[in-house]
Chains A and B, each alone.
Chain A
Amino acid sequence: MREALEGSLAIARAVALTKPDVVAAYPITPQTHIVENISKLVADGDMHTEFVSVESEFSAASVVLGAAAAGARAYTASASQGILLMSEVMFNIAGLRVPLVMTIANRAVGGPLSIWNDQSDSMAVRDAGWIQLHCISNQEAVDTTIQAFRIAQETDLPVAVCMDGFVLTHTMEVIDIPSQDEVDAFLPPFEFAGALDTANPRSMGTLVDPNYFPEVRHSHHAAMGKALAKIEEIDEAFAEVIGRASGGLLTVDGPKKAKVGIIAMGSVVGTMMAGREHYGGEVGEARIVKLRSYRPFPAKALRAAVKGLDKVIVIDRAISPGMGGVLGTEVSAVLSTLDKAPKVFNYALGLGGRDIPETMYRDLLTTIEAKDAPRFAVFDADLEKLPPEDR
């Protein structure tokens, strides 16, 4: 049913529709409303779930790891420092190939302390081995959350659904929440062949010596590669039942003849689309590539998406100090195998919640036309605010 809902409440209701056996979470801004609403649904008897209130994110991740290992459908949510505190367990969840789902309400990582949105937190756990899907709207976040449970159990991989903190979590907009019947038709009951079973005892997470460790890592990497097709297939299956897709691995939007492209993840994609509508006549209409699957990284689809482009602007909502953008670096690497690779301009935007106006579209497209356009910059940093020696 279409309703005007705050993003966090919509996510809580989407999670409820998947009927998780166990939810464990520790509140942190801007994830708080999600778990508050889940807790309320459980307390009101509208959700038959064991809600475990824990004393830290480390415990939240540990509880869902244990629950899923025991064969339960499990969910958690966090952000920022909470993700960092979870990170040790996150590597274990993925490395032990335990399927569960987490929402990352993307927020900057301190210090200095910032409660506002960027994607430094999910980027910090890029290599934990989780599937990472990014959403541009609350509708996509709802749909992707439901899809994530099926992706997890069909790949034996944990899935992080990334949604921009505040910008999505605290925004009310029109969202269609699927019915229970629709979700039941799409999402089978939880099944995990690797679950622990007292009738057939075995060990999970044992010491793996050098004779086997590289094979474990290889199989994890290979499973991620196979997940590419699963993510697309499950998005299509969702569309068949519920009537709309979330964009598979990535979606390409804009003129075929475009010479400039923009590649980005998360809600900034929507702002770029609005910017193109307003300023496209003035500075040209860019092709916009909405990257949904960040891990696994859809290299082949990306190479196809940039076909015919001379220049690509890659927007990063995080920074790797001493290197530059992370997504931009990866896009450059992937495109380097093309005969006619577009020139990549990588700009970090909106760090720590700096508002990204639609004029940014015009500013980005104008900047890359200059001869000395930087290949990387914290684009919206006002260097005048810094003493000369820090610029």
Chain B
Amino acid sequence: MIEYRIHGRGGQGSVAAAYLLAAAAFEAGFTCQAFPAFGAERRGAPVMAFVRIDEKPITLRSQVRNPDFLIVQDETLLLDPTLTNGLKPGGAMLVNSRKASAEIAAKFDTRVVAFPATDLAVKVIGKPIPNTALLAAFLALTEHVPQAALAAALKGRFHGAMLEKNLALIAEAAGAVEAGAWKETADA
């Protein structure tokens, strides 16, 4: 089982990202589970969402306490001292940021890739919603799920022009990071 935790702020599509990642995993033949950290949702407030994927049925229902990977949609959340709580040794963190990866990595005891997903989203879809670009970059890094499965999951959620723009966005995002850099998963 691989476990992911997505951190973001209300309005950035963290729950949607979790559902998309799970749906993509399903398209690729895995079983999956995705859910938000349930709270009173407010735009701008810190939010978390969780994803598990596995080859067998998933019965565990708790929050993801020991993620293999973190996806951080908002770099201001790097200031939260609990952000990396429970992250497995050998794990990694993808951060939506214009900063250099090494600059962020210096402050954390894990592998970090920084990727300017909001900038790319503004450029390609005209909206500052980083989730689909981040997911594409994340899947390019981990190769847990093929990009085609993410595209299939997007087709279940978006239609028309918004779908076309998002497909263009994920293609560009996937090509902008080192493919397979995080291919090996963290220690279970």
Using a CB–CB cutoff of 8 Å, the interface residues on chain A facing chain B are 3-4, 6, 30, 115-117, 136-137, 164, 166-167, 170-174, 267-268, 270-271, 273-274, 353, 355-358
User: Does A358 contact B62, Cβ atoms closer than 8 Å?
Assistant: yes
Q: Of all chain A residues, which has the CB nearest B25? A: A4
Query: A116 to chain B: which residues have CB within 8 Å?
Result: 38
A148 → chain B closest CB, angstroms? 22
A137 to B62, CA, bound (A): 13
A48 → chain B closest CB, angstroms? 25
At the interface, yes or no: B85 with Cβ under 8 Å from chain A? no
At the interface, yes or no: B94 with Cβ under 8 Å from chain A? no
Instruction: Give a binary string over B37-73; 1 marks a CB under 8 Å from any A CB, 0 the rest.
Output: 0101000000000000000001111110100000000
A358 to B65, CA, bound (A): 10
Q: Which of A115, A172, A267 contacts B32 (CB 8 A)?
A: A172
At the interface, yes or no: B33 with Cβ under 8 Å from chain A? yes
A366 to B40, CA, bound (A): 35
A271 to B43, CA, bound (A): 31
Contacts known (A4-B22, A4-B23); A170 close to B61, Cβ less than 8 A: no
Contacts known (A268-B61, A271-B62); A170 close to B26, Cβ less than 8 A: no
User: Does B60 contact A274, Cβ atoms closer than 8 Å?
Assistant: yes
The 3 A-B pairs at the shortest CB distance, nearest first, are namely A270-B59, A274-B60, A4-B26
Chain B's interface: helix, strand, loop or mixed, by majority?
Answer: mixed
Query: B18 to chain A: which residues have CB within 8 Å?
Result: 172
Q: Which of A115, A137, A271, A357 contacts B38 (CB 8 A)?
A: A115
Q: Which of A115, A164, A357 contacts B40 (CB 8 A)?
A: A115
Q: Of all chain B residues, which has the CB nearest A268? A: B61
User: Does A357 contact B31, Cβ atoms closer than 8 Å?
Assistant: no
At the interface, yes or no: B115 with Cβ under 8 Å from chain A? no
User: Does B61 contact A270, Cβ atoms closer than 8 Å?
Assistant: yes
B45 → chain A closest CB, angstroms? 15
Q: Of all chain B residues, which has the CB nearest A6? A: B19
A272 → chain B closest CB, angstroms? 9
Q: Which of B26, B35, B65, B153 contacts A174 (CB 8 A)?
A: B26
At the interface, yes or no: B173 with Cβ under 8 Å from chain A? no
Query: A117 to chain B: which residues have CB within 8 Å?
Result: 38
**Complex A-B: 26 CB contacts under 8 Å:** A3-B26, A4-B19, A4-B23, A4-B27, A4-B153, A6-B19, A136-B59, A166-B38, A167-B35, A171-B33, A171-B34, A171-B61, A172-B18, A172-B19, A172-B33, A173-B31, A174-B26, A174-B31, A271-B59, A271-B61, A274-B59, A274-B60, A355-B63, A356-B61, A357-B65, A358-B62
User: Does B59 contact A173, Cβ atoms closer than 8 Å?
Assistant: no
B139 → chain A closest CB, angstroms? 16
B56 → chain A closest CB, angstroms? 10
B42 → chain A closest CB, angstroms? 13
User: Does A4 contact B32, Cβ atoms closer than 8 Å?
Assistant: yes
Q: Of all chain B residues, which has the CB nearest A275? A: B60
A207 to B107, CA, bound (A): 74
At the interface, yes or no: B10 with Cβ under 8 Å from chain A? no
A284 → chain B closest CB, angstroms? 19
Query: B31 to chain A: which residues have CB within 8 Å?
Result: 173-174
A174 → chain B closest CB, angstroms? 5
Contacts known (A4-B23, A172-B19, A173-B31); A357 close to B62, Cβ less than 8 A: yes
A289 → chain B closest CB, angstroms? 15
Query: B34 to chain A: which residues have CB within 8 Å?
Result: 171-173
Query: B22 to chain A: which residues have CB within 8 Å?
Result: 4, 172-173
Query: A173 to chain B: which residues have CB within 8 Å?
Result: 22, 31-34, 58
Q: Of all chain A residues, which has the CB nearest B40? A: A115
Most chain A CB atoms below 10 A, which of B27, B34, B35, B36: B35
Q: Of all chain B residues, which has the CB nearest A270? A: B59
A271 to B62, CA, bound (A): 7
User: Does B59 contact A171, Cβ atoms closer than 8 Å?
Assistant: no
